[in-house]
Amino acid sequence: MQRNILLTISFDGSAYHGWQVQSNACTVQQVLCDAIKSVTGAFCPVTGCSRTDTGVHANMFCCCVKTESAISTQSLPAALNANLPDDIVVLSAREMPAEFHARYDCRGKEYVYKIFNSELRSPFLVNRALLYKYPLDAEFLDVQARAFLGTHDFSSFCASGSSVENKIRTVSRVGVAREGDIVTFTVAADGFLYNMVRIMVGTLLDISSGKLGADSIPSVISACNRSAAGVTAPAQGLYLNRVFYDFNLGESNNAAGSQK
């Protein structure tokens, strides 16, 4: 009998061309599929909660595995981790109904974007945070970012060429905070458009530098035009931080993280 198992994983995306399997590049999905085949002895379809770009990381990423293996959900994380590289780890496994879908049953996600605000690079943050040498006022940017809250057409914050027709999304939480030299942008929403978070960050950086005016985010949103927003921030500072479902992920076996 085929089982549907929800895996919660975490990964450093520096060495990967995103999540989705590609014919000519190494991806997180492919490496995970190979580990699952090593454990179960068979190819098992794996469906992710989202796509991630090259170099993007995940503190929490969820995916469903369809398998006929009898291995217990208690044993599966350790078995997979023994076959995975150090930059990918399985945090938990949970048995789900056959109809559950990691992407379509997702109720929302939270992303964080990390900026290393320093004139000197850190060898420990290469590929894990954006190095930004110019002054940043986190409290000012926090006030600016609040304009993202609510339900809007985020066409201005979607990469050109996206095939998505409905660009209306609801942002439920947003903030900018500083801890030492690290400035973190956090945003939670019911869904995200392609490059949406990176364009949000780039817009805030352009406001900080004066390329865009203070309090300009409402007019950028209402323009519904990608050219009205700021640059697309690089991928290396972006982390999928949490994934939300109608149940608490903290109840799963060996779980790390929980629903809001």
Cross-strand pairs, 6: 64, 94
CB 184 within 8 A of CB 142: no
d(CA 175, CA 141): 8
Token pair, residue 62, equals 């969820």
Token pair, residue 226, equals 């990608």
The one catalytic residue among 34, 53, 137, 215: 53
CB 36 within 8 A of CB 46: yes
Q: Is 246 a catalytic site residue?
A: no
CB 48 within 8 A of CB 84: no
Cross-strand pairs, 11: 58, 88
CB 75 within 8 A of CB 255: no
d(CA 80, CA 84): 6
CB 10 within 8 A of CB 3: no
CB 182 within 8 A of CB 138: no
Cross-strand pairs, 57: 239
Residues marked as catalytic: 53
